[in-house]
């Protein structure tokens, strides 16, 4: 099943659903248990590193699609 338009639409819908939610709201909405320790919660959030990881993952996915 190769339905790229449906995937894009689904991703856009999920983006609109989660946009603006705080982390506690997100966890409650999707029933996600917070398993972080208080020390881990206190660590600073590095958006640049997260973006880097997402970009690397996306690149890997595209390479796998070519195969």
Per-residue model confidence (pLDDT) at position 1: 65
Q: Is the pLDDT of residue 65 over 80?
A: yes
Domain locations in the chain as residue ranges? 22-66
Rounded Cα distance between 44 and 41, Å, is: 8
Please give the model's pTM, rounded to 2 decimal places: 0.51
Given a cut of 70, whether residue 12 has pLDDT beyond it is: yes
Q: How far apart are CA 26 and CA 17, in angstroms?
A: 10
pLDDT band at 41 (very low <50, low <70, confident <90, very high): confident
pLDDT band at residue 23 using 50, 70 and 90 as cut-offs = confident
CB atoms within 10 A of CB 21: 13
**DSSP conformation letters of the chain:** ---HHHHHHHHHHHHHHHTT--HHHHHHHTT------HHHHHSPP-HHHHHHHHHHHHHHHHHHHH-
């Amino acid at each position: 099943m190769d339905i790229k338009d449906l995937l894009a639409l689904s991703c856009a819908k999920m983006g609109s659903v989660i946009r603006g939610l705080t982390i506690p709201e997100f966890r409650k909405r999707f029933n996600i248990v917070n398993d972080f320790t208080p020390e881990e919660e206190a660590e600073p959030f590095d958006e640049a590193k997260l973006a880097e990881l997402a970009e690397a993952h996306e690149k890997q996915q595209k390479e796998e699609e070519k195969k």
